[in-house]
């Protein structure tokens, strides 16, 4: 999977979105609201309850357990701002 440091819009009509989160994460709740407002379907993986998920996030986030970590197709976004999500999902 490609880890993005720059933003480039995803060129597909139905992106595959997965959010790695925890139940206590405020930024995760914000991202969920954004996805719901925009009608974006997504899968959610709780990194504290899903074996291997925390390790995957740590691999993408330079050894840190950062949530939300969101994958959109093959792009990885570590705790993205709403503006970055909008650009990646073509919602600007």
> Domain limits at 35?
2-88
Q: Report the predicted TM-score, pTM, of the whole model to 2 decimal places.
A: 0.84
What is the CATH classification number for the domain harbouring 34? 3.40.30.10
The answer to whether the CB of 20 falls within 8 A of the CB of 67 is yes
Total structural domains within the chain: 1
Cα(26)–Cα(41) distance, integer angstroms: 19
pLDDT in tens, 10-61: 444 678 999 999 999 999 999 999 999 999 999 999 999 999 999 999 999 9
Strands 2-3 and 75-78: parallel
């Amino acid at each position: 999977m490609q880890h993005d440091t720059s933003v480039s819009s995803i060129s597909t009509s139905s992106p595959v979105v997965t959010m790695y989160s925890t139940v206590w994460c405020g930024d995760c709740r914000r991202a969920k609201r954004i996805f719901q407002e925009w009608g974006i379907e997504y899968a959610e993986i709780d990194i504290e309850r899903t074996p291997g998920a925390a390790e995957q996030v740590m691999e993408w986030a330079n050894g840190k357990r950062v949530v939300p970590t969101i994958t959109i197709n093959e792009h990885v976004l570590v705790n993205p701002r709403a503006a970055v999500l909008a650009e990646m999902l073509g919602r600007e």
